[in-house]
Amino acid sequence: MPGHFEPLPGGGAAVALDDVEISIIRSLAVQLLELIGPGPAENASDDPLAELFADGPSEPPSDPVLRRLFPDAYDDPEGAPASAERTEELRAYSSEFRRYTENDLRAGKRDNALAVIRSLDRLSAAGEGGAVLKLTPDDSRRWLSALNDLRLAIGSRLEITDEDDTDLLYRLPDEDPRKPMVMAYLWLGGLQETLVGTLMP
């Protein structure tokens, strides 16, 4: 079980984590929460219906990590030539889609990151030296989504755009300042892959 998730009888998954691993995942999840920002509830007025009918942003985020987490919904296939008119049309579709979906997408990503933090906090409270994290099937899906978001965020900071970029990461010298982030990216990828395996029928 060390270093990877294994299925639990009856559903769910378990992984052994030491204190350092718990601290790293928790810290990354907290940073993700800070990046995503507060939800409408934290900024809400006294109107209980305001959150329900609040429009989301209509423009893509300026931060490249947030653009990776909340990409435009409509885009021409890569390499396909697009006229200025077509580009403007796709931009308008994406803007409208973003207005009605991004608040919910942000809330979902926040909920998943919070689920990770809370489960790690319960684990930390149980004792020192690490422990075995046990997840229900529902918790496993939340963790899977959060791990994916963490990898997208780190991959964006590392400017990873395709599999060739990942291959180059393995050859980075130890003195490269990106090395700790690369190690976290690869480790989270291993956790994500084994967690997917536990959810397969």
The residues of the chain scoring below 50 in pLDDT are: 1, 42-43
Summarised one tens digit per residue, pLDDT across range 17-56 is: 999 999 999 999 999 999 998 865 544 555 555 555 567 7
* Distance in angstroms (rounded) separating the CA atoms of residues 34 and 113: 10
> Could you give the percent of the chain with pLDDT greater than 70?
82
pLDDT in tens, 55-67: 777 787 889 999 8
Q: What values do phi and psi take at 193, rounded to 5? A: -65, -45
